[in-house]
Amino acid sequence: MTIARGALMLVEIAPPIFDVDLDIAYASDRNFTGKPVYARPGCYLHPDAAAYFKTAIALAQAVNLRFKVFDAFRPAEAQGILWEHTPDPDFLADPKRGSPHSMGAAIDLTLVDANGVELDMGTGFDDFTPRAHHGSLDISSVAQRNRAVLLGLMTAAGWDFFRNEWWHYQLFHARTRYPVLADDALSQSMMGP
Q: What DSSP assignment string belongs to the chain?
A: --EE-S---PEE--TTTS--EE--GGGSS-STTSS-SSSS---EE-HHHHHHHHHHHHHHHHTT-EEEEEE----HHHHHHHHHH---TTTS--TTT--GGGGT-EEEEEEE-TTSPBPP-SS-TT--SGGGSTT-SSS-HHHHHHHHHHHHHHHHTT-EE-TT-TTEEE-TTHHHHS-EE-GGGSSS-SS--
Q: CA 193, CA 190: separation in Å to the nearest integer?
A: 9
Instruction: Give domain status of residue 9, yes or no.
Output: no
Give the number of domains in the chain.
1
Q: What is the tens place of the pLDDT at every residue in 145-161? A: 999 999 999 999 999 99
Check pLDDT > 70 for residue 68: yes
Output the domain CATH number for residue 118: 3.30.1380.10
Residues catalogued as catalytic: 165
Check pLDDT > 80 for residue 3: no
Residue 116 pLDDT: 96
CB 38 within 8 A of CB 24: yes
Instruction: Give domain status of residue 66, yes or no.
Output: yes
Instruction: Give domain status of residue 177, yes or no.
Output: yes
pTM of the model: 0.94
Q: What range defines the domain where residue 98 resides? A: 16-185
Check pLDDT > 90 for residue 6: no
Strands 11-12 and 44-45: antiparallel
Q: How far apart are the first and last CA of the chain?
A: 25
Residue 1 pLDDT: 44
Instruction: Give domain status of residue 192, yes or no.
Output: no
Instruction: Give domain status of residue 3, yes or no.
Output: no
Instruction: Give domain status of residue 7, yes or no.
Output: no
| Secondary structure (DSSP) of 41-90 | ---EE-HHHHHHHHHHHHHHHHTT-EEEEEE----HHHHHHHHHH---TT
Sign, CA torsion 166/110/11/5:
negative
Which amino acid, residue 168? H
Q: What is the tens place of the pLDDT at every residue in 12-59? A: 999 999 999 999 999 999 999 999 999 999 999 999 999 999 999 999
Instruction: Give domain status of residue 11, yes or no.
Output: no
Q: CA 27, CA 127: separation in Å to the nearest integer?
A: 17
Instruction: Give domain status of residue 75, yes or no.
Output: yes
